[in-house]
């Protein structure tokens, strides 16, 4: 059984400033939907956003498929938050009991995204929302994560969720033409490295590559806080065309 530790960015790992910004940004975005709501975060990973969402939501339960990762989260939070181990394809919640389901940077690990989407329809109340953040597979230099199964761009998210009765709105974050000059210069190099399967597979082995591409590294925070980075809402983008301008795709799918 895969525990995903070798491909997960955990508290204390050396990461780029951009990775911290991406981490904070997706939870700040989620916060605009979660105030006063009953929320579950599936595949919570390192749990860095749990306390932020818990401070906004009416209730929050967070969980992950990986026992070792969830054990680390439990050691950090103690009794402050509700944590449960569960599979996003089979969530342990009653029908129509939740307002928000969060799934960030994990849809591509799930064996059956269709089962996950069906579970979301089951556990959400009318008007409930699924919030998804995912790396954009439609970029020309896209590099899939080890253990990943299937990536969804905007059109894939639409095709996954609309047949189940969701109204899908997509957003783009982190435009590729606004990243550092160093990153823009290295994108063609990255594309070649991806095509030749030369990209390191684990977080530990990626540390040197991150330093080359991004420069200064810092420790991944165990918890994010309001205002840790500047926040600008993501840009709405059409859900019927592939997006090739943003590194990250957000999806807010409302169940009616």
> What pLDDT, in 10s, does the model give residues 42-55?
999 999 999 999 99
Residue predicted with more confidence, 201 or 43:
43
Residue 194 has pLDDT above 60, yes or no: no
What's the number of CA atoms in the CB half-sphere (13 Å) around residue 92? Answer: 10
Choose the weakest-confidence range: 110-119, 140-149, 243-252: 140-149
What pLDDT, on a 0 to 100 scale, did the predictor assign at position 13? 86
What pLDDT, on a 0 to 100 scale, did the predictor assign at position 212? 57
Residue 133 has pLDDT above 90, yes or no: yes
Structural domains of the chain in order of their starting residue, each with its CATH number:
5-255 (3.40.50.150)
Q: Rounded to two decimals, what is the model's pTM?
A: 0.89
Residue with the two structure tokens 């997960």: 8
Whole-angstrom distance, CA of residue 214 vs CA of residue 208: 10
Whole-angstrom distance, CA of residue 26 vs CA of residue 134: 10
What pLDDT, on a 0 to 100 scale, did the predictor assign at position 50? 97
251, β-bridge pairs: 132, 170
In the structure, what pLDDT confidence band is assigned to residue 191 with cuts at 50, 70 and 90?
Answer: low
What pLDDT, on a 0 to 100 scale, did the predictor assign at position 236? 98
Residue 40 has pLDDT above 60, yes or no: yes
């Amino acid at each position: 059984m895969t525990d995903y530790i070798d491909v997960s960015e955990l508290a204390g790992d050396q990461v780029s400033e951009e990775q911290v910004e991406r981490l904070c940004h997706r939870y700040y975005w989620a916060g605009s939907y979660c105030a006063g709501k009953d929320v579950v975060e599936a595949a919570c990973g390192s749990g860095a956003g749990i306390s932020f969402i818990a401070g906004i939501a009416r209730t929050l339960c967070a969980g992950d498929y990986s026992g070792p990762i969830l054990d680390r989260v439990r050691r950090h939070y103690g009794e402050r938050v509700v944590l449960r181990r569960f599979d996003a394809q089979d969530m342990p919640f009653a029908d129509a009991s939740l307002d928000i389901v969060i799934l960030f940077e994990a849809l591509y690990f799930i064996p059956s995204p269709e089962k996950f989407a069906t579970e979301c329809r089951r556990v959400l109340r009318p008007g409930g929302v699924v919030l998804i953040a995912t790396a954009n597979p439609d970029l020309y230099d896209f590099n899939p994560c080890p253990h990943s199964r299937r990536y969804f761009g905007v059109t894939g998210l639409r095709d996954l969720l609309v047949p189940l009765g969701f109204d899908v709105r997509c957003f783009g974050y982190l435009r590729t033409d606004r990243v550092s000059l160093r990153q823009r210069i290295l994108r063609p190099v990255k594309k070649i490295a991806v095509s030749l399967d030369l990209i390191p597979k684990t977080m530990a082995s990626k540390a040197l590559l991150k330093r080359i591409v991004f420069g200064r590294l810092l420790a991944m925070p165990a918890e994010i806080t309001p205002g840790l980075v500047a926040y600008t809402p993501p840009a709405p983008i059409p859900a019927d065309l592939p997006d090739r301008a943003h590194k990250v795709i957000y999806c807010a799918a409302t169940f009616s």
